Structure 1
Amino acid sequence: MSSQSPSSTVLAQLLGGLPELVMYDLDGTLVDSVPGIALAVDRALEELGASPAGEALVRTWVGGGQRLLVQQAINFAGMAPAQLDSAIKAFRKHYAHTADHNLALFPGVAETLAFFADHGVSQVVVTNKPIEFVPAMLEGLGIAHYFADQLGGECLATRKPDPLMLNTMLQRFSVRPDNAVMVGDSSNDLLAANAAEVPCLAVSYGYARGDDLSQYNPVWLGDNLAQLLAPN
């Protein structure tokens, strides 16, 4: 159990107490998944007769969802727009084998998950990543036990920035929006939170693709979630 008093933390001061429900984005918020994504992109490009892009370039493409990612990859390769669907299929095939490649938690994530668990706060994942890849990633990182539920990009009719995922979790856990919080790294996360009237904590280290997250009015914007657990 954490010895830190929850009422004396930066987080509690920001929110007026601990939330009942924390909803997390996955890629770019909890985990750095770019190495595996980049490897799958490069293998897909090579399968389709193009040169690999490399991890550094692919990192600049991540954050807008799978379709946009692969669209940028085929644009880079000079491939025809009509090849998008086959490129997505190839990417998903390869990503099934590379999703855990050099996968790592961002600094402060492990401490934050443990803190909320210690204080009885429900935690869930709401990600635009296809759900088929999510459970194994969480298990591989040893954090699956922290999450009471998961929603992926193909679970509901719409994805973030639509608020449906967040509203669904609020309903499942019978929590009011002002008693929950969203944690994310991109405009998709913050726009969804704003639409659901849920406070949002934004991280600056993720895959925002150069977007200024402060324009979406997060209640906090920082570079390490563990900063929220410090004494106020």
Structure 2
Amino acid sequence: MPVHDARPGGIVFDLDGTLIDSAPDIHAAVNRMLAGIGAAPLDMPTVVSFIGHGLPHLVGLVRAHHGIDAGEQPRMLAAMMTQYAAHPVALTRPYPGVVAALTRLQAAGHPLGLCTNKPVAATHAILDALDLSRFFAAVIGGDSLPVRKPDPAPLHAAFAALPAARLVYVGDSEVDAQTSHAAQVPFALFTRGYRKSPVADLAHVVAFDDFADLPAHVADLQHALTQC
């Protein structure tokens, strides 16, 4: 960002594991799907380890874990999508401090966007149900484009829809770190999400475990970039 451009920069967020703890509902949907085909349930840590690349990838990992033939993928995916759509926010909640942080960032003039591998219709339904839609001027889901994260195209699309220069991408996982790197966007890592690797192994400019700290980190990044 040029030194003379002091306008608040755009911020794009990941959804699952970053703004919301959706693992309990995803876990429940996986086990309802498995029950429907007579397969044994999975524990929460196993399902969490499968989250990050979208529902088709998650279902593929669930299927492989149980040794189920690849030919069952379409039927299992359809069942998973039905089960998840039926109860997307029964147990899902924003992480503590998320709403306050988004409110402060929006009030400071930062245009906010969302870039997730969750299908876009499910994303909008969850944002509406949790009263988070009001914060986001752009929402890109896992099926908004022919590719999904870690390809940088969805993140580029989210920032392109915001009326500001790119400031930072906020996420929680290896996929988010890879996406940010590929898109050449600074990455802020929320450390309480669904990552599998140590914090030090994920390239980031900021790491935080409390959303109350995010506005101050953003202000520091904004100041640094305006001085470049």
- Note whether the superposition's TM-score is higher than 0.5: yes
What's the TM-score, normalizing by structure 1? 0.84
Closer/same/farther in 2, CA of residues 130 and 90 from structure 1, 3 Å limit: same
Deviations 1:189-224, CA, capped at 9 Å, x for gaps: 12221222211100111111x223433421111211
Is 1:87 aligned to 2:73, yes or no?
Answer: no
Written as runs of structure 1 = structure 2, the 5 A alignment for 1:113-132 is 113-132=102-121
Contact persistence 1:187–1:213 (CA under 8 A): no
Q: CA deviation at 1:18?
A: 7.8
Is 1:220 aligned to 2:206, yes or no?
Answer: yes
Q: CA deviation at 1:135?
A: 1.2
Task: Mark the runs of 5 or more structure 2 residues left unpaired by the alignment.
Answer: 1-5, 221-228
What's 1:211 paired with?
A: 197
Contact persistence 1:39–1:98 (CA under 8 A): no
Task: Mark the runs of 5 or more structure 1 residues left unpaired by the alignment.
Answer: 1-16
Q: CA deviation at 1:226?
A: 1.5
What's 1:53 paired with?
A: 42
Closer/same/farther in 2, CA of residues 92 and 70 from structure 1, 3 Å limit: same
What's the TM-score, normalizing by structure 2? 0.85
Distance across 1 between alignment mates of 2:95 and 2:162: 27
Distance across 1 between alignment mates of 2:182 and 2:7: 21
Written as runs of structure 1 = structure 2, the 5 A alignment for 1:148-167 is 148-167=137-156
Written as runs of structure 1 = structure 2, the 5 A alignment for 1:1-232 is 19-177=8-166, 180-208=167-195, 210-229=196-215
Deviations 1:84-109, CA, capped at 9 Å, x for gaps: 22111110111110211211111221
Deviations 1:171-197, CA, capped at 9 Å, x for gaps: 2235434xx210001122122212222
Contact persistence 1:186–1:207 (CA under 8 A): yes
RMSD between superposed Cα atoms in Å: 2.0
Deviations 1:58-101, CA, capped at 9 Å, x for gaps: 22322232223112222333322221221111101111102112
Q: Percent of aligned positions with the same letter in both sequences?
A: 31
Q: What is the SS of the residue equivalent to 2:143?
A: coil
Distance across 2 between alignment mates of 1:22 and 1:39: 31
Q: What is the SS of the residue equivalent to 1:49?
A: coil
What's 2:223 paired with?
A: none
Closer/same/farther in 2, CA of residues 85 and 170 from structure 1, 3 Å limit: same
Contact persistence 1:186–1:213 (CA under 8 A): no
Comparing 196-205 and 76-85, the one that deviates more: 76-85
Counterpart AA for 1:150: V
Distance across 2 between alignment mates of 1:186 and 1:58: 15
Closer/same/farther in 2, CA of residues 119 and 174 from structure 1, 3 Å limit: closer
Counterpart AA for 2:182: A
Q: What is the SS of the residue equivalent to 1:74?
A: helix
Counterpart AA for 1:105: P
